[in-house]
A and B are shown apart, each in its own frame.
Chain A
Amino acid sequence: MQAALVQFKPRKGDLAANLDAMRGVFAQLADGPVELIVFPEAAMTGYFLEGAVYELAFDAPTFAAKVDAQWRAAGGTRPVDVAIGFYENALGTFHNSAMYVRCGGPDGVHIVHVHRKMFLPTYGVFDEERFLTRGRRLSVFDTPFGSAAILICEDAWHALMPTVAALKGARLLIVPSASPGRGLGGNGELESTTRWKALLASAAAEHGVYVLYAGLTGFEGGKGMSGATSAYSPHGDLLQSLGPLDPGIILVRLDPAEIDLARATMPLLGDLSAVLPDLWLDEEIPVTRRLEERP
């Protein structure tokens, strides 16, 4: 499978302009071999919306139709898969979501999966849970490459999330993100980006999975989205990355044989599967929450 990771710079709240820009990206990729196009979190609106999130949230079918319409308008004459972050209105419950959607098919658009962000950062510069409801489930879904899972931004900062996804069979982790860059003390790289790259590479290497990260870019009210769109092999190697400030596209080929190789060399996921029941059944870990334990 060949994937394209799009480092996207939206105009805040300007859906029409951002869909136009999406169409431009599609036009660039329509004739090529790309089967999967990954956009960042909140790509068509910008990330920091505060109360305006309710004005710019869509139900999944409506948003999928908009994406599909851009693909077809851009001359996409073949099906393509798109993973993209958006604010979701689920019958009046609002989520920071990302969908995996098959566009350009003969029978119309097909939503393969919608992941609702589970870890909503609500500290410091972040205020998501003031406006949004967290997702309750991390699921894997089928893609032409095999099982995949979506982790949105902070979802991927909790080591348990890639672990659960991998245990459920994910061979590909798709990470749409909007990360305000911070920490200028690094050596040519934002400290927040260095942290991101380390944890994504670690997730890829520990579980033998591909990790595809698409970052938003551009400034939102002084907060610079740090881009750093990047791809990681199942060995944990950084295959390619973009800088922080400019839009761009990474093309990356995913080879299932690399996963076999990585897992044969370093069978950590298999080891975890074997040991997991002992860990999980350890009653000292506050995992189960029984009704009578609730206050």
Chain B
Amino acid sequence: MTLPVVEARLEEPSLAIDPALTARWLEAFLRDELIERRAIGRAVLGLSGGIDSALVAYLCARALGPENVYAIRMPYKASSSSSLTDAQRVVDALGIHVETIEITDAVDGYLKHAPDADARRKGNVMARTRMLVLFDQSARRNALPVGTGNKTERLLGYFTWHADDTPPVNPIGDLFKTQVWELARYLGVPTEVIDKPPSADLEANQTDEADIGITYAKADRILNMILHGYKDDAIVARGHELAEVRLVRRRVDGTHWKRHLPTTALVSSTAINEFYLRPVDF
């Protein structure tokens, strides 16, 4: 008699989230950080029309009440008009405040002095201009800027340093892009926003996945395994192309600096954050 044989699965760290629990956790985080720790009940966020900022708008509205959420649309002249429309869908669905502040004059005012700027430099100028607007609009409203960067783009370095990453709190920075999609679906973010290809919208027809060279679905699984310490051959054994694994690992390894504060020369035994250690909420 031949006995039946079953093969055990290869262990792979899961990307699954319980969206209800996740929403509850992140809303509590926002309330604790804004209301209880800082006594600031209002949030300001840049609403691009993309899924990340849409999701953060939903979380803020649920945590703080829609009357305490201020969405700022900051289009540049080259921005897609559908971005404004998609941002409006989120505003209409939530009943949050919205203001549109075009950054074209500010960006072009500087770029007159930098005629050789290529697309990458222009994109960084736009991102840093939006950061400037966001912080000033927060000060105007006695509100706190809330960040919208997700874990995937943070790990891949697909953001402008000291721009997208500057708000003092970020509810979705430990969620991979595919988890952002799942949570957004659960919270009822408009399908037009969820289903469109993610884009930084710095140039016409730009998409994240074309820029990065891999789909988010694949990148997230590979990133998750890299973060758990899996070597390349172990990731390949779980069904990924070696070239894609190397692409992702190269981006992670080349951008550790973007996930830190500036490097400071240590010359004393009281160097801040090296010897003198205090938690951010102390």
Residues of B within 8 A of A13 (CB): 282
Docked pose: A86 CA to B37 CA in angstroms? 22
Residues of A within 8 A of B191 (CB): none
A219-B18 contact in complex given A49-B279, A50-B279, A52-B278, C-beta closer than 8 Å: no
Q: A51, A187, A222, A245 — which one has the most chain B CB atoms within 10 A of its CB?
A: A222
| Contact of B21 (CB < 8 Å), options: A51, A186, A219 | A186
Is the C-beta of B212 less than 8 angstroms from some C-beta in chain A? no
Give the contact stretch, choosing among B24-32, B43-51, B105-113, B258-266.
Answer: B24-32
Chain B proximity of A105: nearest CB distance (Å): 35
Is the C-beta of B269 less than 8 angstroms from some C-beta in chain A? no
**A184 engages B17 (CB within 8 Å):** yes
Residues of A within 8 A of B14 (CB): 185
Q: How many residues of B contact A (CB 8 A)?
A: 24
**A184 engages B278 (CB within 8 Å):** no
B267-282 interface with A by 8 A CB criterion: 276-282
Docked pose: A51 CA to B278 CA in angstroms? 6
Is the C-beta of A224 less than 8 angstroms from some C-beta in chain B? yes
Chain B proximity of A147: nearest CB distance (Å): 37
**B21 engages A188 (CB within 8 Å):** yes
Is the C-beta of B142 less than 8 angstroms from some C-beta in chain A? no
| Contact of A190 (CB < 8 Å), options: B21, B276, B278 | B21
Question: Which applies to chain A's interface (DSSP): helix, strand, loop or mixed?
Answer: loop
Is the C-beta of B22 less than 8 angstroms from some C-beta in chain A? yes
**B25 engages A184 (CB within 8 Å):** yes
Is the C-beta of A104 less than 8 angstroms from some C-beta in chain B? no
| Contact of A12 (CB < 8 Å), options: B25, B29, B279 | B279
Q: How many residues of A contact B (CB 8 A)?
A: 24
| Contact of A188 (CB < 8 Å), options: B16, B18, B169, B278 | B18
Q: How many A-B residue pairs have CB under 8 A?
A: 65
**A224 engages B29 (CB within 8 Å):** yes
| Binary flags per residue of A132-169, CB closer than 8 Å to B gives 1, else 0 | 00000000000000000000000000000000000000
| Contact of A185 (CB < 8 Å), options: B16, B32, B37 | B16
Residues of B within 8 A of A185 (CB): 14-18
Docked pose: A48 CA to B25 CA in angstroms? 19
| Contact of B278 (CB < 8 Å), options: A46, A50, A220, A244 | A50
Is the C-beta of A181 less than 8 angstroms from some C-beta in chain B? yes
Q: B14, B17, B32, B33 — which one has the most chain A CB atoms within 10 A of its CB?
A: B32
| Contact of B276 (CB < 8 Å), options: A51, A187, A244 | A51
**A189 engages B279 (CB within 8 Å):** no
Is the C-beta of B20 less than 8 angstroms from some C-beta in chain A? yes
| Binary flags per residue of A38-78, CB closer than 8 Å to B gives 1, else 0 | 00000000101111100000000000000000000000000
Docked pose: A101 CA to B93 CA in angstroms? 55
The residue of chain B having its C-beta at the shortest distance from the C-beta of A243 within the complex is B24
Is the C-beta of A218 less than 8 angstroms from some C-beta in chain B? yes
Docked pose: A50 CA to B272 CA in angstroms? 12
**A187 engages B18 (CB within 8 Å):** yes
| Contact of B279 (CB < 8 Å), options: A52, A187, A245 | A52
Docked pose: A187 CA to B20 CA in angstroms? 9
A184-B281 contact in complex given A218-B32, A219-B33, A224-B28, C-beta closer than 8 Å: no
Is the C-beta of A221 less than 8 angstroms from some C-beta in chain B? yes
Residues of B within 8 A of A189 (CB): 21
B155-198 interface with A by 8 A CB criterion: 169
Docked pose: A186 CA to B22 CA in angstroms? 10
**A188 engages B20 (CB within 8 Å):** yes
Docked pose: A244 CA to B26 CA in angstroms? 12
Chain A proximity of B266: nearest CB distance (Å): 16
| Binary flags per residue of A214-256, CB closer than 8 Å to B gives 1, else 0 | 0000111110100000000000000000001100000000000
Docked pose: A186 CA to B15 CA in angstroms? 11
Chain A proximity of B267: nearest CB distance (Å): 19
A245-B28 contact in complex given A184-B17, A185-B16, A188-B20, C-beta closer than 8 Å: yes
Docked pose: A29 CA to B106 CA in angstroms? 61
Chain A proximity of B54: nearest CB distance (Å): 20
The 6 A-B residue pairs whose C-beta atoms are closest, nearest first, are A50-B277, A219-B32, A51-B277, A185-B16, A184-B17, A221-B280
30 A-B pairs in the complex with CB atoms less than 8 angstroms apart: A12-B37, A12-B279, A13-B282, A48-B279, A48-B281, A49-B282, A50-B278, A50-B279, A50-B282, A52-B278, A52-B279, A52-B282, A184-B17, A184-B18, A184-B21, A185-B14, A185-B15, A185-B18, A187-B18, A188-B20, A190-B21, A190-B25, A219-B28, A219-B29, A219-B33, A220-B281, A221-B281, A222-B280, A224-B25, A224-B28
